């Protein structure tokens, strides 16, 4: 999905036709209008190399194929590595390799190549000793020039006799709504990023990456196709998620590079910028006040977090081929606020004293913020957590501490996000914090409990101002996760209550139907909220779906697993609560799988209670 979505229609390929003419060489001169297609091609070949030890490493190759002859309707490109390099994987073509010889054949979406048009292909490879460039390329058996210069060497491998073509530079065949759509021509210069320059709001005028794994799960539920093409974030919640985990019970099997390659294909399939969102979520001693979301790293494993988690993520996101994408990093949800509100919990006290959270986040901000097309947004909890005066200011101070740790600066923070994976209403339409009922203020109600805010948007706007006071940029932007906070359906109030009793008024007027604002796990009655869109309100960069609807918050009962996912009684619908939720029932759905695994029953309920309603 986009912010807003504006995918163009797929351009139809125009088939070329002509009459067959028998020609005796030297006897008949054909008119130009009846001549066979004159072949011609020019190649631009570039690499982004890296070393992985003495005399060896890897590289990403980019091959731009320009058709300098007549229009063609299919193509096969061949070349050979001159220095013993090996091919590993590629995109934007069907690739094969035999020893040093490499072949790329057109896909359906880029098989037509008009005169003067270009298409860009990419691949990864390995090198030993050095990485010299191939000197000879053929397109459908015709030797290409390289950078406008005809190579002296003859083709090293014969080409297939098939006809060839690729999209024109102006063509923009888009994906169908399905995320499996193939990419189209390279974008026009007007949509290309300016290296090293970040835009103020990465969501403005941009499409959003559709995760094909989540999309397929969503579409498998009756009615799910209505939302299966909405952009959602990808959660990198353990080290194995970076490479991808075959047969994983949660979050899918695609790794970070797989997702970015798919995002690049979706980018090329449409027009304008594309935003791909990733949740960076694997701090040592993660989520110290909960159990379902505890991570794989112990409280003292900050070095592993840096070297085995953040460094590989930065190396992948920083690859040159991903420069056209706008990559949003949602940095470590539910961490820093725990150092303000939950120091009575031993694990949180440990993470505060050893600096694991502050240093880990500072390191992540520094490494990822150095990449020109990566935008860091720090998680800033939600109004029902830090909306009280005693938490509000201290949280801003703690965020500033993390933003300047480990060599980072506030310049590495593009913004903040509220309500990540939570259920707080974006806007309560029937009362505000200043509403009075029966001579009492809303703050005196049991539900609001003296909080300064009643919804996420008013909180996010106010917290943004407080962060600016703390030294963050005046242009810092806020995101609100609206994936599960719609609270529609038959239980949604349609008007303010007429009661003059404060608690009755609030309970009859509020659209957030949770038993208690401290309840956070698989909430019964919740619905999908506002669809992702940019610039919805002052200071808000976008409404986003960071928590993919239908991905469980935690299991309803203990489920042994190999992913480090614990069992939290707050996900048990029979649990009568604790001090964090006022000793109330949890309001959690039954029969839930481990956190991150798809929960079809929850997804169906979220659709049924969506607000705005689904059409």
- Return the active site residues: 334, 553
Specify the DSSP class assigned to residue 98.
Answer: E
Counting every residue written for the chain, the total comes to 615
| 3-state class (DSSP) for residue 112 | coil
463 within 8 A of 418, measured Cβ to Cβ: yes
Q: Kindly report the backbone phi and psi dihedral angles of residue 13, in degrees, each rounded to the nearest multiple of 5, phi listed first.
A: -70, 140
> 467 to each of 150, 395, 411, 461, 474, how far by Cα in Å?
58, 9, 13, 10, 9
| Assigned token pair, 533 | 């869109």
Specify the DSSP class assigned to residue 249.
Answer: S
Look at the block and give the residue holding tokens 């990485």: 131
What's the CA gap between 306 and 329, in Å, rounded?
16
β-pair partners for 79: 102, 137
571 within 8 A of 522, measured Cβ to Cβ: yes
What's the CA gap between 95 and 243, in Å, rounded?
21
| 3-state class (DSSP) for residue 577 | coil
Task: Count Cα atoms within 13 angstroms, Cβ side, for 278.
Answer: 30
What's the CA gap between 18 and 16, in Å, rounded?
7
What's the CA gap between 254 and 244, in Å, rounded?
5
What's the CA gap between 409 and 362, in Å, rounded?
8
Q: Provide CB contacts within 8 A for 582, sequence distance 6+.
A: 516, 518
What's the CA gap between 608 and 599, in Å, rounded?
15
What's the CA gap between 594 and 292, in Å, rounded?
8
| Number of CB atoms found within 10 A of residue 248's CB | 18
Q: Could you please report the per-residue DSSP string of 305-331? A: IIIIIIHHHHHHHT-GGGTTSEEEEEE
What's the CA gap between 453 and 431, in Å, rounded?
11
| Assigned token pair, 85 | 């390099």
**Cis peptide preceding 310, ω within 30 of 0:** no
Q: Could you please report the per-residue DSSP string of 293-312? A: T--SS-TT-HHHIIIIIIHH
| Assigned token pair, 503 | 């608690």
What's the CA gap between 129 and 74, in Å, rounded?
36
């Amino acid at each position: 999905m986009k912010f807003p979505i504006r995918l163009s229609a797929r351009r139809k390929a125009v088939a070329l036709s002509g009459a067959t003419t028998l020609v005796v060489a030297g006897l008949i001169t054909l008119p130009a209008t009846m001549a066979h297609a004159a072949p011609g091609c020019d190649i631009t070949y570039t690499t982004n190399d890296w070393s992985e030890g003495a005399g060896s490493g890897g590289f990403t190759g980019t091959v731009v194929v320009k058709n300098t002859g007549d229009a063609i309707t299919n193509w096969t490109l061949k070349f050979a590595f001159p220095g013993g390099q090996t091919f590993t994987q590629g995109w934007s073509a069907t690739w094969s390799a035999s020893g040093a010889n490499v072949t790329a054949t057109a896909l359906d979406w880029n098989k037509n190549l008009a005169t003067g048009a270009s298409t860009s292909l990419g691949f990864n490879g390995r090198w030993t000793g050095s990485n010299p460039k191939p000197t000879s390329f053929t397109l459908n058996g015709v030797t290409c020039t390289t950078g406008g210069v005809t190579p002296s060497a003859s083709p090293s491998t014969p080409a297939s006799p098939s006809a060839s073509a690729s999209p024109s530079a102006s063509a923009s065949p888009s994906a169908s709504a399905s995320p499996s759509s193939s990419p189209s021509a390279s974008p026009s210069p007007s949509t290309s990023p300016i290296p090293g320059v970040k835009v103020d709001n990465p969501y403005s005028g941009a499409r959003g990456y559709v995760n094909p794994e989540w999309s397929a799960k969503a579409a498998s539920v009756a009615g799910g196709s209505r939302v299966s093409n909405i952009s959602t974030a990808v959660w990198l919640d353990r080290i194995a998620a970076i490479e991808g985990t075959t047969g994983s019970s949660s979050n899918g099997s695609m790794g970070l590079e797989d997702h970015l390659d798919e995002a690049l294909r979706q980018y090329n399939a449409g027009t304008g910028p594309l935003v791909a969102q990733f949740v960076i979520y694997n701090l040592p001693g993660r989520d110290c006040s909960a159990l379902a979301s505890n991570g794989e790293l112990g409280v003292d494993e900050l070095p592993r977090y840096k070297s085995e988690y953040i460094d590989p993520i930065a190396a992948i996101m920083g690859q040159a081929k991903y420069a056209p994408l706008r990559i949003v990093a949602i940095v470590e949800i539910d961490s820093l606020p725990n150092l303000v509100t939950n120091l009575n919990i031993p694990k949180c006290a440990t993470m505060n004293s050893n600096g694991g959270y502050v240093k880990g986040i500072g390191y992540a901000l520094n490494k990822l913020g150095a990449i020109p097309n990566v935008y860091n947004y720090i998680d800033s909890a939600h109004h029902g957590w830090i909306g009280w005066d005693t938490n509000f200011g201290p949280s801003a101070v703690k965020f500033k501490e993390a933003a300047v740790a480990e060599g980072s600066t506030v310049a590495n923070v593009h913004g903040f996000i509220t309500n990540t994976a939570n259920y707080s209403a974006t806007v309560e339409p029937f009362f505000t914090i200043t509403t009075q009922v029966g001579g009492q203020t809303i703050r005196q109600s049991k539900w609001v409990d003296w909080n300064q805010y009643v919804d996420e948007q008013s909180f996010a706007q106010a917290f943004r101002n407080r962060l600016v006071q703390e030294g963050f940029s005046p242009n810092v932007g806020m995101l609100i996760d609206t994936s599960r906070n719609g609270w529609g359906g038959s239980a949604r109030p349609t008007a303010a209550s007429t009661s003059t009793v404060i608690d009755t008024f609030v309970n009859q007027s509020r659209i957030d139907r949770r038993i208690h604002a401290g309840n956070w796990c698989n909430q019964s009655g919740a619905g999908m909220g506002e669809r992702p869109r940019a610039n919805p309100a002052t200071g808000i960069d976008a409404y986003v779906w960071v928590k993919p609807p239908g991905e469980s918050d935690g299991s309803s009962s203990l489920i042994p697993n190999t992913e480090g996912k614990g069992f939290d009684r707050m996900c048990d619908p029979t649990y009568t609560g604790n001090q964090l939720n006022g000793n109330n029932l949890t309001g959690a759905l039954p029969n839930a799988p481990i956190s991150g695994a798809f929960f079809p029953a929850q997804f169906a309920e979220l659709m049924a209670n969506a607000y705005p309603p689904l059409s």
